[in-house]
């Protein structure tokens, strides 16, 4: 038997004023993306902004549906939009934020497992890390250097790949 310990490293900031200008801008874009959230059922708005190596920033927001499982998280909306519009784009960084009128969000909201699995696929496809920034509108920011560290046991089966 081997007992294995995995560590993850991330940066914690008091608020977005501590970030580089590029990262602060990305967080502000994620905040703008909240406006397009379609979330009449959860009333929980999620916005994401993704910076490509070209410098272009792509936005996404959660899109819900009366048939609840047919809705999609903000992260996947933005990533699939990039996959279908700019299939060869390299993603540098993505910022995620959330907002609701029902309670105060006091900590950065982190991505669900389904979104992490999709993020890992993009990371593998481009063979370069994607930084992830979780931004709480009330202050705290977490910055992770690569998606892989957030989902070390992501589903991978090399023999399913070309
Ligand atoms: N949601 C996201 O957009 N991203 C996540 O990573 C987790 C949750 C959305 C889905 C749903 O519209 C709302 O947040 C409440 O779960």
pLDDT digits (tens, 9 = 90+) for 85-100: 999 999 999 999 999 9
DSSP lists the bridge partners of residue 51 as: 57, 93
162 Cα to the center of ligand 1, angstroms: 31
Is position 153 within any domain? no
48 Cα to the center of ligand 1, angstroms: 11
| pLDDT (average), residues 57-86 | 98
Question: d(Cα 127, Cα 102) in Å, to the nearest integer?
Answer: 40
Q: What is the domain extent for residue 42?
A: 11-148
Residue 78's pLDDT band, with cuts at 50, 70 and 90, is very high
Q: Residue 74 CA: which ligand 1 atom is closest? A: 3
Element (H, E) at 95: strand 91-100
Is position 20 within any domain? yes
Q: Whose CA is nearest to atom 6 of ligand 1?
A: 111
Is position 80 within any domain? yes
Spatial neighbors of 75 by CB under 8 A, at least 6 apart, are 46, 48, 60, 94, 96, 111, 115, 118, 119
| Helix, strand or coil, per DSSP, at residue 85 | helix
Any atom of ligand 1 within 6 Å of the Cβ of 118: no
Number of domains in the chain: 1
Q: What pLDDT shows up at residue 161?
A: 78
147 Cα to the center of ligand 1, angstroms: 18
Share of the chain above pLDDT 90, in %: 97
26 Cα to the center of ligand 1, angstroms: 19
Question: d(Cα 155, Cα 117) in Å, to the nearest integer?
Answer: 7
Q: What pLDDT shows up at residue 158?
A: 87
20 Cα to the center of ligand 1, angstroms: 27
Q: Residue 77 CA: which ligand 1 atom is closest? A: 3
Question: d(Cα 130, Cα 119) in Å, to the nearest integer?
Answer: 8
Q: Read off the CATH number of the domain in which 29 is found.
A: 3.40.140.10
Is position 156 within any domain? no
Tell me: pLDDT of 6 over 90.
yes
Question: d(Cα 44, Cα 106) in Å, to the nearest integer?
Answer: 14
Picking from 140, 44, 57, 137, the residue whose alpha carbon sits closest to that of residue 94 is 57
Is position 162 within any domain? no
Average per-residue pLDDT for the chain: 97
Is position 136 within any domain? yes
- Angstrom distances, CA of residue 78 to CA of 7, 8, 122: 29, 25, 12
Any atom of ligand 1 within 6 Å of the Cβ of 126: no
Is position 109 within any domain? yes
Query: pLDDT digit string (tens) for 98-151?
Result: 999 999 999 999 999 999 999 999 999 999 999 999 999 989 999 999 999 999
Q: Residue 111 CA: which ligand 1 atom is closest? A: 6
Q: What pLDDT shows up at residue 67?
A: 98
Is position 52 within any domain? yes
Tell me: pLDDT of 38 over 80.
yes
Residue 162's pLDDT band, with cuts at 50, 70 and 90, is low
| pLDDT (average), residues 44-62 | 98
């Amino acid at each position: 038997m081997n007992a294995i310990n995995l560590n993850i490293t991330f940066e914690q900031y008091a608020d977005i004023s501590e970030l580089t200008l590029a990262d602060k801008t990305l967080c502000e874009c994620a905040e703008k993306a909240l406006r397009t959230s379609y979330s009449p059922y959860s009333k929980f708005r999620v916005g994401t902004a993704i910076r490509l190596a070209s410098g272009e920033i792509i936005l996404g927001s959660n899109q819900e549906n009366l048939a609840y499982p047919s809705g999609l998280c903000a992260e996947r909306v933005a990533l699939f939009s990039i996959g279908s519009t700019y299939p060869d784009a390299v993603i540098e960084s993505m910022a995620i934020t959330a907002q609701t009128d029902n309670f105060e969000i006091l900590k950065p909201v982190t991505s669900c497992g389904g979104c992490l699995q999709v993020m890992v696929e993009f990371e593998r496809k481009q063979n370069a890390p994607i930084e992830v920034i979780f931004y709480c509108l009330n202050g705290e920011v977490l910055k992770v250097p690569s998606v892989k560290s957030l989902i070390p046991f992501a589903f991978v089966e090399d023999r399913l790949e070309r």
